[in-house]
Structure 1
Amino acid sequence: MIGRLLILVLLVALAAVAWKARGYRQSALSAMNKVEVISERFTKSDFFEAENRQWLERGERPDVVFMGASITKRWNPEGKLGDLKVAQRGVGGQWPSHYLLRFASDVLDLKPRAVVIKACAITFRPGVDDKGTRRALLDMCAQAEAAGVKPVLATCVPVREDGNAVYGSDGKKQPSGINDRLLPYNEWLRQLAAEHGWGLIDFYKAMADEKGFLPADLAEDDIHPNAKGYEAMTAAARAALEPLLAASGS
Structure 2
Amino acid sequence: MTEETKSLTLNPQLEAFQASLLEKYATANRTAKRGQVVFVGSSLMEIFPIEQWQESGEVAFDAIIYNRAVRATTTAFLLAHLDTQIFDLEPSKVFINIGTNDIGFGVPEEEFLANEREIFRRIAERLPDCETCVLRFYPINTVDFRNDEDERALLATRSNHALQAASDAIERIAQEFGFPFIDVNAGLADERGELKKELTFDGAHLNPDGYRVVLSNLAPYL
Structure 2 distance, partners of 1:156, 1:51, is 28
- Which residue does the alignment assign to 2:213? 232
Aligned-pair distance for 1:206?
Answer: 5.0
Aligned-pair distance for 1:41?
Answer: 5.5
Deviations 1:120-145 (A, max 9, x none): 64332384423332222211111111
C-alpha spacing 1:118/1:136, structure 2 compared with 1 (3 Å): same
Amino acid at match of 1:49: A
The answer to whether the Cα contact below 8 Å between 2:140 and 2:195 also exists between their aligned partners in 1 is yes
Q: Which runs of 5+ in 2 are unaligned?
A: 1-6
- Which residue does the alignment assign to 1:49? 26
Aligned-pair distance for 1:193?
Answer: 3.7
Structure 1 distance, partners of 2:166, 2:95, is 16
- Which residue does the alignment assign to 1:218? 199
For residues 135-154 of structure 1, the aligned pairs below 5 Å read: 135-147=114-126, 148=128, 149-154=130-135
1:97 matched to 2:76? The reply is yes
The answer to whether the Cα contact below 8 Å between 2:135 and 2:182 also exists between their aligned partners in 1 is yes
Aligned-pair distance for 1:92?
Answer: 1.2
The answer to whether the Cα contact below 8 Å between 1:66 and 1:115 also exists between their aligned partners in 2 is yes
1:70 matched to 2:43? The reply is yes
Q: TM-score, normalised by structure 2?
A: 0.77
C-alpha spacing 1:211/1:62, structure 2 compared with 1 (3 Å): farther
Aligned-pair distance for 1:181?
Answer: 0.9
For residues 13-52 of structure 1, the aligned pairs below 5 Å read: 35-40=11-16, 45-52=22-29
The answer to whether the Cα contact below 8 Å between 2:188 and 2:213 also exists between their aligned partners in 1 is yes
In terms of Rg, which structure is larger?
1
Amino acid at match of 2:29: N
How many percent of aligned residue pairs carry the same amino acid? 19
Length, aligned pairs only = 200
Bigger relative CO (Cα 8 Å, ≥ 6 apart): 2
1:208 matched to 2:181? The reply is no
Deviations 1:215-242 (A, max 9, x none): 1121122211112100011122212x24
Deviations 1:86-143 (A, max 9, x none): 1101111111211112111221121101221112643323844233322222111111
Q: TM-score, normalised by structure 1?
A: 0.69
Aligned-pair distance for 1:190?
Answer: 2.9
Structure 2 distance, partners of 1:42, 1:133, is 20
SS, match of residue 46 in structure 1: helix
Structure 2 distance, partners of 1:68, 1:52, is 17
Structure 2 distance, partners of 1:64, 1:211, is 34
Q: Which runs of 5+ in 1 are unaligned?
A: 1-30, 243-250
